Structure formats: C-alpha cells, structure tokens
C-alpha cells in the first residue's frame, strides 16, 4: 500500500528562524510527484511546492525548499526566515502517474510561528 507519513504532529519556532518539516512515503512506483500543501486557519488548501520524482534537483519557491531523497523515500520541507503568516497545517502528498491523479495524503504537521 502507498502511504505518506509525517512524524511531527506539531512544531513551533520563533519568527525568522528556519524550520524543517519531515515527510516519508512508501511506494513501488518510479514515476510520481510529491507536494507540500499549506492550510492556514482559513482552511483553504494552498500549494506550497511540487517535486517531480525524475528530477534530481530539489525544488525551491522563494523561502520554501525541499530536500528530496528518492532512495530513502524522504521529502522534507525547509522554510527559511519564517514569518507569522507561515503558521498553518502543512500536508505532504504523493501521486503516481497511473492513479487518475488521486493524491495520497499525510496526516499533517501543525506549524506555529511565534513572534
């Protein structure tokens, strides 16, 4: 079975610090995509970053970057210079090419940025 595991239910850091959220996944597929979504208190689900499994280069989006380790099936999210607006639930998700685009979701990590 394909699964996504986020081992940190909750984390908190001071504003401007760097924080890393962990995610591991299990699959026998070779072609797949990985995502981090953010869900702030408004509960709208917002795409943060996406990684194609066939790309060795780690994806980056401004202050957000990933550490993608394909062999280890690990996909961590690093947030640099954290801001109060980064406070949210963060979900890691996985999809493979033949799944009719059905995402497999982790349980989420609640991230609190303290002033």
Q: Are 5 and 93 in contact (CB under 8 A)?
A: no
Per-position x/- string for 27-46, each x denoting binding to another protein as judged by CB under 8 A, each - no binding: ------x-x-x----xxxxx
Going by their DSSP bridges, the two strands 109-114 and 46-52 should be labelled as unpaired
- Residue from 54, 107, 112, 114 binding another protein (CB under 8 A): 107
Interface with another protein, residue 84, by CB under 8 A: no
**Closest CB to another protein among 21 and 106?**
106
**Of 63, 75, 45, 65, nearest to 113 (Cα)?**
63
Going by their DSSP bridges, the two strands 104-105 and 88-96 should be labelled as antiparallel
**Closest CB to another protein among 14 and 31?**
31
Interacting residues toward another protein by CB under 8 A: 33, 35, 37, 42-47, 50, 91, 95, 97, 100-103, 105-108
């Amino acid at each position: 079975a394909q699964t996504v595991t986020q081992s940190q239910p909750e984390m908190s850091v001071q504003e401007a610090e760097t924080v890393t959220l962990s995610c591991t996944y299990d699959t026998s597929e070779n072609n797949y995509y990985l995502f981090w979504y953010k869900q702030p208190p408004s509960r709208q689900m917002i795409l943060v970053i996406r990684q194609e499994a066939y790309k060795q280069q780690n994806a980056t989006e401004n202050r957000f970057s990933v550490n993608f380790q394909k062999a280890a099936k690990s996909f961590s999210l690093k947030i640099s210079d954290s801001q109060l607006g980064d406070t949210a639930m963060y979900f890691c998700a996985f999809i493979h090419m033949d799944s009719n685009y059905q995402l497999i979701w982790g349980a989420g990590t609640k991230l609190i940025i303290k002033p």
